[in-house]
Amino acid sequence: MRPSTLVILGLAGVAIAVSIAVGVLADWFWFGAVGYESVYLTVLAARVGLGVLGFLVFFAVSYGNAAVAARTAGQGTPLVAGLIAAVGSLLAGIVLSGAWETVLLFFNQTAFLADDPIFGLDIGFYVFALPFYTLIVNFLLGLFLFAAVLAGAAFLIRALGIELEPGRQPAVTAEPRGWQQYARAFLPHLSVLLFLVFAALAVRLWLARYGILFSTTGAVYGAGYTAVNVTLPVLTVLAALALVIGIGFLINAAFGRIRVIAYGLAAFVGVALIGLVAVAAVQGLIVAPDEFNLEREYLGYNIQHTRAAYDLDEVDDRFFPVALNLTAEDIRENNATISNIRLWDWRPLQATYAQLQLFRTYYDFFDVDVDRYTLDGRYREVLVSARELNVGLLPEQAQTWVNRHLIFTHGYGAVMNPVDQVTPEGLPVFYLRDIPPVAQFENLTVTEPAIYYGEETGNYVVTQTTTAEFDYPSGEQNVYTRYGGTGGVPLSDGLRRLVYAVRFGSIELLVSGSITPESRVLLYRNAAERAAAIAPFLSYDPDPYVVVDGGKIFWIIDAYTTSLQYPYAEPTATEVLDGGRTNYIRNSVKVVVDAYTGDVAYYVVDPDDPLIAAYEKIFPGLFRGIGEMPAGLRDHIRYPQGIFQVQANVYALYHMQDPLVFYNKEDAWVIPDEIYRGARQPMVPYYVILRLPGETDEEFILMLPFTPRNKENMIGWMAARCDAPKYGDLVVFRFSKQELTYGPMQVEARIDQDPEISQAITLWSQAGSDVLRGNTLVIPIENSIIYIEPLYLEATERGTLPQLRRVIVAYGDMLTMQETLNQSLAVIFGEGGEAPPGEVPAVGGDLAERLARISDLFDAAEQALSEGDLGRYQEQINEIGQVASP
């Protein structure tokens, strides 16, 4: 090997080693800072241990067999065999290292206390044990096959005298005659290796028998008639034949009887071919003509196990007798429901927030969340959003390293409004607003408004430097601060600075004079990414939501345990897995992230989940009981939309528990559509406060209606209860199939067909304006259903300020559109039918003038920025701050 090649390989090896060392040190420092060193050490030890073990076992067996084979040929082991063995062993070690979770789950498994119907094994065998056994057998099968090939190659190289050493030309140096005697000496060795290959293959085929429970051949997912009566016996016979063939190699080595091998191989191929033909023939000629009768039993298994896997086996299924007898008195008695009807759609509200409450162009409202608070004794549904700082929105000239990482470090405060209240100008009424935060209620007061961790904070920042951090704007001046939290990794020595300078590719971290030994680098600032970095074995809901409690701002993230190994359970794709598939899911964990300190806590909300019980054993210091969550935060846990969407989609088919009805899909349901921005789109689950039929008190629920497949009328609705002590309970209300209950799209069609409403929408959609139709809300009250759809008016130009201008209410055959919800209810149910008015603060002309002025100033600021006039841009921004200040 040339010296230059050795130098290149050496430098590459050093670079790889340095990269690995930097990664390990950076993670170690960070996990130490967040207090989860034990989690990191557990994963690291498992990965390194398995990787080293896999490498050593693979290398020892493969190279050892190559060495024995070479000595059998009377010469030393060729160097190339050692290199090949090392490369193969490295790959094997990497594969085994990546399977650390499978191994740890196997050794910490818990029972599901439910058996599969074919083999009678606990479901835990398929979730925990089968993946581990498959991993080990696949490893051994690959190892023995690799060792046999490498040993055979090493033997031939030496027996034929082929020189393959580095720096030499390949050549045959031995006489061809005589090498056959070496072959006879090598035959027992090769026979043992082939025995191990076929023995491992036999075990692999035996394990494949359990895989029929995940078959897609029959009428449903899981083992059907053909799989149980044909595939299972064929796999059993093939496993036995593979073992016989392996034993045949040992017999041949001892007695020279190759007949057993020949007959065994012929039988193996024959049975495999016959099995393939038999599967196709039985499925096509026997099962297909009488499919339901032969598959009925297995249809029942699929229904039972799918409902259990998605936690749908204990759904409270009730009949909802829709009656059109709602009165004005009923409306008044259900004021808690009416006063919490969500008139504000989060999408136009986000744009309204941006115009009214950003104050600076580098702030952003990434999302708007739905939650509930008890305010002055009233249970109120609200919309809330955190005002985060997005350094990407800074002017291009301001995109310096100092600005991005030392000065603009955090967002500031949050905005909150009730879901139902609207000013005379069609704007939201704020419960929490402005910079610094102004709260209408004492328990919404924010004493620590700085947001260092959020949904939009992706870049790292360095705090406690000699450079002052921007805190918030105040008129023409800016207020600066110094981070006083415990978040981040202390840059207390040169090694840490060097590690993170290499990690982020930032020489500034190493040479900046602003950084002192007290400085801290804050990374993993995205709340969801932060939670996933600590516990990557969980899946996370894509929508963290913000909570204000005790003067601080927190993020709550729903975490899930998932598996694709639940027998007979139908797989489904989900956003929770970025479109990946699962056939078992539980929302077992609530993660809380402090927006200021970055502290992360994991609370187990479903201790009955066997998967989370296994993870608790693997990581004993990671999880806490839900009872340990502060009471103020516990009041804000909600059933997540992620799992509810999955469950609703599954239940749309699997509410049919009769195998014949299910087989014919006689009563299949679907998620209905609604109109948004002029286009049909599937409805998404929505949160409401209402009193469920048969209950005495209002509660916060997540709900979604169903319609029959290929029809638009509503057939029922599903609700997930969010409040203790009924948290997580699912309720489904079914409507009569003999009576028409309007579905969302039928209500949308009636709105389009109403001459008065359609004419008004047409007029508003002209002259630079656009009408935005909000969510169609299906609201159950008593034994009736009312439909509510808000209408927003917005400009088509940039800087739009959507305003809620009308509310449509439909009930039975009646439909009206009025300026307010109360007016619409009064039209339908008569005078007195409106709900008692909420406490809406009076809004005078001063606010309207300020809002108009803010809109004009934003337009002027954007124009200045587009023209590159930063001075005029800053003047406009400063004036916005003055106008917006309370």
Q: What is the pLDDT of residues 313-325, one digit of tens each?
A: 999 999 999 888 8
Query: Would you say 72 and 191 are in contact if contact means Cβ atoms under 8 Å apart?
Result: no
The answer, yes or no, to whether residue 175 has pLDDT greater than 60, is no
Residue 484 confidence class, pLDDT cut points 50, 70, 90: very high
For residues 234 and 786, give the distance between their C-alpha atoms in angstroms, rounded to a whole number: 59
- Compute the average pLDDT of residues 688-700: 91
Q: Which has more confidence, 348 or 859?
A: 348
Residues with Cβ within 8 Å of residue 649, at least 6 apart in sequence = 572, 671
Residue 799 confidence class, pLDDT cut points 50, 70, 90: low
Q: Identify the DSSP state of 740.
A: -
The predicted structure's pLDDT at residue 475: 77
Specify the long-range contacts of residues 321-325, CB closer than 8 Å, at least 24 apart: 321/736, 321/783, 322/735, 322/736, 322/739, 322/741, 322/783, 322/784, 322/785, 323/782, 323/783, 323/784, 324/784, 324/811, 324/812, 325/783, 325/784
- Compute the average pLDDT of residues 816-820: 93
For residues 662 and 685, give the distance between their C-alpha atoms in angstroms, rounded to a whole number: 25
The predicted structure's pLDDT at residue 81: 86
* Both structure tokens of 391: 């350094």
Buried (b) or exposed (e) across 54-91, using 16+ Cβ within 10 A?
Answer: bbebbbebbbebbbebbebbebebbeebbebbeebbee
For residues 572 and 770, give the distance between their C-alpha atoms in angstroms, rounded to a whole number: 38
Q: Identify the DSSP state of 527.
A: H
For residues 686 and 827, give the distance between their C-alpha atoms in angstroms, rounded to a whole number: 26
- The predicted-structure confidence for 91-103, as pLDDT tens digits, reads as follows 999 999 999 999 9
For residues 830 and 216, give the distance between their C-alpha atoms in angstroms, rounded to a whole number: 58
The answer, yes or no, to whether residue 242 has pLDDT greater than 50, is yes
For residues 637 and 525, give the distance between their C-alpha atoms in angstroms, rounded to a whole number: 22
**129-143, 187-201, 246-260: range with highest mean pLDDT:** 129-143
The predicted structure's pLDDT at residue 87: 94
The answer, yes or no, to whether residue 136 has pLDDT greater than 50, is yes
- The predicted-structure confidence for 109-128, as pLDDT tens digits, reads as follows 999 999 999 999 999 999 99
Instruction: Compute, in degrees rounded to 10, the torsion defined by CA atoms 227, 231, 232, 237.
Output: 170
> Which residues are registered as beta bridge partners of 674?
681
Query: Would you say 160 and 176 are in contact if contact means Cβ atoms under 8 Å apart?
Result: yes
- The predicted-structure confidence for 711-746, as pLDDT tens digits, reads as follows 999 999 999 999 999 999 999 999 988 888 999 999
For residues 664 and 668, give the distance between their C-alpha atoms in angstroms, rounded to a whole number: 9
Closest CA to 498 of 96, 832, 25: 25
**21-25, 220-224, 422-426, 609-613: range with highest mean pLDDT:** 609-613
Separation in Å, CA 823 to CA 791, 820, 827, 830, 833: 14, 5, 6, 10, 9
- The predicted-structure confidence for 750-798, as pLDDT tens digits, reads as follows 998 999 898 888 888 776 678 888 889 999 998 899 999 999 988 776 6
- The predicted-structure confidence for 252-294, as pLDDT tens digits, reads as follows 877 767 777 888 899 999 999 999 999 999 999 999 999 999 9
How many Cβ atoms from other residues are within 10 Å of residue 587's Cβ?
A: 25
- The predicted-structure confidence for 357-407, as pLDDT tens digits, reads as follows 988 889 999 999 999 999 999 999 999 999 999 999 898 889 999 999 999
Residues with Cβ within 8 Å of residue 695, at least 6 apart in sequence = none
First-last CA distance in the chain: 77
Separation in Å, CA 401 to CA 397, 404, 497, 515, 525: 11, 5, 16, 13, 17
Number of H helices, E strands in the chain: 27, 37
Which helix (H) or strand (E) is 650 found in, with range?
A: helix 641-654
What is the DSSP track for 489-507? EE--SHHHHHHHHHHHT-T
The predicted structure's pLDDT at residue 794: 83
How many Cβ atoms from other residues are within 10 Å of residue 16's Cβ?
A: 10
The SS3 of residue 806 is strand
Separation in Å, CA 468 to CA 328, 405, 524, 803: 60, 11, 22, 39
Residue 43 confidence class, pLDDT cut points 50, 70, 90: very high
Residue 565 confidence class, pLDDT cut points 50, 70, 90: very high
Question: How big, in percent rounded to 5, are the helix, strand and coil portions of the chain?
Answer: 45, 20, 35
- The predicted-structure confidence for 17-40, as pLDDT tens digits, reads as follows 888 889 999 999 999 999 999 999
Instruction: Compute, in degrees rounded to 10, the torsion defined by CA atoms 219, 222, 225, 229.
Output: 150
Query: Would you say 743 and 713 are in contact if contact means Cβ atoms under 8 Å apart?
Result: yes
For residue 266, give the amino acid letter. A
Residues with Cβ within 8 Å of residue 710, at least 6 apart in sequence = none
Peptide bond just before 436 cis, omega within 30 deg: yes
The answer, yes or no, to whether residue 4 has pLDDT greater than 70, is no
* Both structure tokens of 415: 């905005």
The predicted structure's pLDDT at residue 323: 87
For residues 807 and 792, give the distance between their C-alpha atoms in angstroms, rounded to a whole number: 9
The predicted structure's pLDDT at residue 261: 87
Separation in Å, CA 253 to CA 65, 241, 242, 249: 17, 18, 17, 6
pTM, whole model, 2 decimals?
A: 0.89
Instruction: Compute, in degrees rounded to 10, the torsion defined by CA atoms 39, 43, 45, 47.
Output: -170
Residue 886 confidence class, pLDDT cut points 50, 70, 90: very low
- Compute the average pLDDT of residues 624-630: 96
Helices 130-159 and 79-98, packing angle to 10 deg: 170
Q: What is the 3-state secondary structure (H, E, C) of 161-172?
A: CEECCCCCCCEE
The answer, yes or no, to whether residue 833 has pLDDT greater than 80, is no
Residue 177 confidence class, pLDDT cut points 50, 70, 90: very low
Separation in Å, CA 635 to CA 229, 496, 535: 53, 40, 24
Half-sphere exposure of 769 (CA within 13 A, CB side): 17
Alpha helices (H) in 256-290, listed in sequence order: 259-281
Residue 841 confidence class, pLDDT cut points 50, 70, 90: very low
Q: Any idea where the domains of the chain sit in the sequence?
A: 35-203, 215-309, 315-326+657-834, 329-535, 536-637, 844-886
The predicted structure's pLDDT at residue 836: 53
Query: Would you say 559 and 537 are in contact if contact means Cβ atoms under 8 Å apart?
Result: no
